[in-house]
Amino acid sequence: MKQNKNIFTSVYECLMETDLDLKISKVAQLQIDWADEQFEFSSSETVLRVSDPGRPKKPLLVSPKELPKRRLGSPEGHAALMHSIAHIEFNAVNLALDAIYRFQDMPKRFYLDWLGVAGEESYHFQMIREHLYHLGYEYGDMVAHDGLWMTTYETDHDPLVRMALVPRTLEARGLDVTPPMIQKLRSIGDKRGVEILKILLQDEIGHVEVGSRWFRYICEERHLNPFNTFQAIIENYYHGDLRGPFNYEARAQAGFCEQEIAWLKTLNQP
């Protein structure tokens, strides 16, 4: 009889894989193994903290302040924008994998949801990587920053905090900033870039909705008020300045309730 694979061990191996192409193929294999019911779900004896997940040696990571400013109208600026999006999508693969590995006492549906997110983020990364290649660059040719993973590391103690801060705050920013980026790419005639970002926007609404759903699930389990809890987590953990403009329509589709939307509108006042 064939021995089933442990999902947490398999996901951890994929999370820590440094080779880009191998990581992408391992994400695909995780999805195949799930579909073939190859996984068993016994928890790991020790869940390791991951200060630095598997990634290639390049891009070189710098602080956001050290990122060079480039105009979109120049070929380098155009490529830099696509490179930064590729970097976000690559990080998002690791974010989804880490959610599966780290929180080992959640319902099985949680792991299916985040495995689906990892697969879509991997697909996004491959699309942008290919587009970047046609612009004359490879992923890793430019510097990038690591703010997204720093927040992941700081929220590895509690799935409630993770769901609030990563999908519902950091990734939700993508819903706000993607429509203006689509307009910029349209203004320079990058039709393929526009197509890609439209796909990303639609899929990211779904990814933030996954975070919203599981955030509310954990709140219900712990008898917490979701709105008050979300506000408290932002106040206690979020390092940035949560301000608009916000994409209210996309956020509503992604599971933000009317009370949260009304609160965001107060943050958007001049």
Rg, Å, the chain Cα set: 19
In whole angstroms, how far apart are CA 194 and each of 187, 200, 225?
Answer: 10, 10, 39
Q: State the residue for tokens 């579909």.
A: 35
Structure confidence at residue 40 (pLDDT): 94
CB 159 within 8 A of CB 214: yes
Q: 248 near 169, Cβ under 8 Å? A: no
Contact 212, 226 (CB under 8 A): no
Spatial distance between the Cα atoms of 13 and 101, rounded to a whole number of angstroms: 10
State the greatest distance between any 2 C-alpha atoms of the chain, in Å, as a whole number.
65
Please calculate the CA angle 62-68-70 and round it to the nearest 5 degrees: 145
pLDDT at 270 (0 to 100): 54
Which residues are 144's β-sheet partners? 61
Question: Rounded to a whole number, what is the distance in angstroms from the first to the last CA of the chain?
Answer: 65
User: What was the pLDDT predicted at 5?
Assistant: 94
Q: What pLDDT score was predicted for residue 239?
A: 73
Could you give the angle at the alpha carbon of 182 between the alpha carbons of 177 and 187, nearest 5°?
130
**According to the CATH classification, is domain 80-267 in 1.10.3470?**
no
Query: Could you tell me which residues come within 8 angstroms of residue 208 by beta carbon, excluding any fewer than 6 positions away?
Result: 167, 168, 171, 172, 175, 251, 254, 255
pLDDT digits (tens, 9 = 90+) for 182-213: 999 999 999 999 999 999 999 999 999 999 99
CA distances from 33 to 10, 27, 50, 222, 259 (A): 10, 10, 24, 32, 40
Per-residue pLDDT at 83:
95
Give the number of other CB atoms < 10 A from CB of residue 245.
Answer: 11
Separation between Cα atoms, residue 110 and residue 103, nearest integer Å: 9
Q: What are the mean pLDDT values of the chain's consecutive 10-residue runs (270 residues total)?
A: 84 97 97 95 93 91 76 86 94 96 97 98 97 95 82 89 94 94 94 97 97 98 97 86 88 96 82
**Residue type at 11?**
V
